[in-house]
Amino acid sequence: MKLILKEDVENLGDMGTIVEVKNGYGRNYLLPRNLAVDANPKNIKEFEHQKKIILSKAKKVKQSAEDLAEQISKLSIIIEAQAGEEDKLFGSVTSKDIAEAIAQQGVKVDKRKVLLEEPIKRIGIHEVTVKVHQDVNASVKVEVKKTGAEEV
């Protein structure tokens, strides 16, 4: 039985591929769960058309994500925090703080997209990654300053 996969199926194939499976597996598992459709000429033609539409939309989304990543990379973020001796912060700078600082400069970013291995706990310049799209990351420099520190 020839089928076109509508979704990725583990140990079988990726979405859009035409696979040859046993009749029972196709009729009793793939078709009822809407994971595949029969590979007749009509379905093949329709699926190719849908695939082109999906790919063009994905390309537009990725391009806008790359533009946003470029905007984010140009930003310089300065966050003031209270610190004690040896430049240790009394609290920490979290992804939420960084997302808010980016938003203040006109670029809206979800705090869950700011990738910090752990919160920033020291004064200085830190490189932070922002995941804009599944394939696109932006890097932004975050400078953490001591509150009330004088410019030199």
Q: What CATH number has the domain bearing residue 31?
A: 3.40.5.10
Residue 21 lies in a domain: yes
Residue 119 lies in a domain: yes
Residue ending a domain, choose from 35, 61, 87: 61
Residue 75 lies in a domain: yes
Q: Which pLDDT does position 148 carry in this prediction?
A: 67
C-beta separation of 109 from 101 below 8 A: no
The range of the structural domain enclosing residue 72 comes to: 67-146
Q: Which pLDDT does position 147 carry in this prediction?
A: 84
Domain identity same for 72 and 140: yes
Residue type for position 137? N
Residue 131 to residue 69: CA distance in whole angstroms: 8
**What are the Cα distances from residue 49, in Å, to 10, 27, 53, 75?**
24, 25, 7, 40
Domain identity same for 108 and 51: no
Q: Which pLDDT does position 48 carry in this prediction?
A: 85
CATH, residue 87: 3.10.430.100
Number of domains in the chain: 2
Residue 151 lies in a domain: no
Domain identity same for 140 and 79: yes
Q: Which pLDDT does position 16 carry in this prediction?
A: 82
Beta bridge partners of 18: 4
- pLDDT average per 10 residues of sequence, the chain (152 residues): 88 88 94 92 88 87 91 90 87 92 91 91 92 89 80 46
Domain identity same for 78 and 106: yes
Domain identity same for 48 and 111: no
Residue 3 to residue 19: CA distance in whole angstroms: 5
Q: Which pLDDT does position 1 carry in this prediction?
A: 92
